[in-house]
């Protein structure tokens, strides 16, 4: 608590020294106690400059996704009001399911520095090396028909693409349904899991995995990371905050206006539309031209015999 108050005081005056006396007055403890807390914060990875007569200045935060750093002054309405952070876990999806099942409110977020059993779509695993990526699950409770839940996934893909573009200046493409791509390689993926009764969703968990500072050597061949593409380390904390802000914004857009705007934005990132593709879906293969997505988020493929076929789930290979 005391740490938080000190951090808040330093954060609100970036680039400035805040005197020990001022801190001791606002926290209500002695200057020696402030000094001890500063030592604790340094041990946690905060870079804090100290200058006699001037005081303390915040010069850097730890490269860790903590509730304090993610949640501080976060400009969101729903997403990230509560943040659960773990050093290591099996999968943030499992924790989010447990929380949601016990009544956790919409918008709560689970993050981990590392996952030992991160999972991806289509039964795959998601490599989650420590401190390199963003591994995050968000609990949503949208009141939508089951068949439109895939659109919630497209919404998350749009949010993630916007966050990447804003933070890095790199514009990712989206490969249906929700892989974020740079230079033909995957940088992020989204997994949506659902708990439902009959035709109503009780809750939806959106899991986002992003390769941020992951070196190529720790990635599968068809994947890359933002650092590899940008050519330098990126700030995971500010990227994760941008992600929460963009999910919040896209979700608010969907709640107030429905999916049309989101679909439009999705199309803007969907670099593969119009190309000849092969979709491998539930044991069958569909070849043809990627035309569009329909209002349920299914991919529309014009096959060689001229029919337009909706494909609800699967993996797209861009042929040419």
CB nearer to ligand BTN: give 20 or 150. Answer: 150
269 binding ligand BTN? (CB under 6 A)? no
20 binding ligand BTN? (CB under 6 A)? no
Binding ligand BTN (rule: CB under 6 A), the pick from 37, 38, 97, 137 is: 137
Cis peptide before 124 (omega within 30 of 0): no
Q: Which listed range, 168-176, 185-193, 241-249, 273-281, lies at the site for ligand BTN (CB under 6 A)?
A: 185-193
316 binding ligand BTN? (CB under 6 A)? no
115 binding ligand BTN? (CB under 6 A)? yes
CB nearer to ligand BTN: give 76 or 153. Answer: 153
179 binding ligand BTN? (CB under 6 A)? yes
CB nearer to ligand BTN: give 119 or 236. Answer: 119
**In whole angstroms, what is the distance from residue 260 CA to residue 254 CA?**
8
Q: Which residues contact 180 (CB under 8 A, 6 or more apart)?
A: 157, 160, 161, 164, 172, 173, 174, 186, 187, 188, 189, 210
CB of 69 to ligand BTN, least distance (A): 18
String of DSSP letters for 262-290: HHHHHHHH-TTTTSEEEEEETTEEEEEEE
118 binding ligand BTN? (CB under 6 A)? yes
121 binding ligand BTN? (CB under 6 A)? yes
Q: Where are the strands (E) in 80-235, listed by range?
A: 83-89, 109-115, 133-140, 173-175, 179-182, 185-197, 200-211
The label of the residue with tokens 């914004």 reads 249
192 binding ligand BTN? (CB under 6 A)? no
CB of 92 to ligand BTN, least distance (A): 4
CB of 183 to ligand BTN, least distance (A): 17
Q: Which two tokens stand for residue 173?
A: 């493409």
Alpha helices, DSSP H, located in 102-223: 149-168
CB nearer to ligand BTN: give 3 or 63. Answer: 63
**In whole angstroms, what is the distance from residue 16 CA to residue 252 CA?**
36
CB burial of residue 145 (10 Å; 0-12, 13-18, 19+): exposed
Q: Distance of CA 206 to CAs 121, 135, 190, Å?
A: 12, 11, 7
249 binding ligand BTN? (CB under 6 A)? no
Q: What kind and span of H or E run contains 90? A: none
Binding ligand BTN (rule: CB under 6 A), the pick from 157, 190, 245, 277 is: 190
Dihedral angle sign, alpha carbons of residues 302, 307, 310, 311:
negative
Binding ligand BTN (rule: CB under 6 A), the pick from 191, 237, 245, 311 is: 191
Dihedral angle sign, alpha carbons of residues 134, 116, 44, 24:
positive
Rounded CA Rg of the chain? 22
220 binding ligand BTN? (CB under 6 A)? no
Binding ligand BTN (rule: CB under 6 A), the pick from 23, 34, 38, 119 is: 119
CB of 179 to ligand BTN, least distance (A): 6
Binding ligand BTN (rule: CB under 6 A), the pick from 25, 124, 130, 222 is: 124
* The length of the chain, given as a count of residues: 320
207 binding ligand BTN? (CB under 6 A)? yes
Residue nearest to ligand BTN (CB): 189
Per CB under 6 A, residues contacting ligand BTN are 91-93, 115, 118-121, 124, 126, 135-137, 179, 189-191, 207-209
């Amino acid at each position: 608590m005391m740490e938080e108050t000190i951090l808040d005081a330093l954060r609100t005056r970036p680039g400035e020294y805040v005197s020990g006396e001022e801190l001791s007055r606002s926290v209500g403890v002695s200057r020696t106690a402030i000094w001890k807390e500063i030592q604790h914060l340094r041990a946690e990875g905060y870079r804090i400059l100290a200058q006699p007569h001037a005081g303390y200045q915040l010069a850097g935060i730890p490269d860790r996704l903590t509730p304090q750093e993610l949640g501080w002054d976060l400009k969101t309405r729903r997403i990230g009001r509560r943040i659960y952070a773990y050093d290591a876990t099996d999968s943030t999806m499992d924790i989010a399911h447990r929380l949601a099942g016990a009544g956790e409110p919409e918008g709560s977020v689970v993050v981990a520095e590392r996952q030992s059993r991160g999972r991806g779509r289509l039964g795959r695993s998601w490599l989650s090396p420590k401190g390199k990526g963003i591994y995050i699950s968000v609990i949503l409770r949208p009141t939508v028909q089951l068949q439109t839940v895939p659109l919630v996934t497209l919404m998350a893909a749009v949010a993630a693409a916007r966050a990447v573009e804003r933070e890095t200046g790199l514009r990712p493409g989206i490969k249906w349904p929700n892989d974020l791509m740079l230079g033909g390689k995957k940088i992020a993926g989204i997994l949506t899991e659902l708990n439902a009764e009959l035709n109503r969703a009780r809750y939806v968990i959106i899991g986002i995995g992003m390769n941020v500072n992951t070196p190529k050597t720790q990635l599968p061949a068809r994947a890359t990371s933002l650092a590899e593409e940008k050519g330098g380390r990126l700030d995971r904390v500010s990227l994760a905050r941008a992600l929460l802000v963009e999910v919040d914004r896209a979700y608010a857009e969907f709640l107030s206006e429905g999916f049309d705007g989101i679909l439009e934005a999705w199309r803007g990132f969907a670099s593969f539309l119009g190309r000849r593709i092969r979709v491998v879906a539930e044991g069958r293969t569909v070849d043809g031209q990627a035309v569009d997505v329909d209002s349920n988020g299914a991919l529309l493929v014009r096959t060689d015999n001229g029919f337009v076929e909706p494909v609800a789930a699967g993996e797209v290979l861009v042929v040419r």
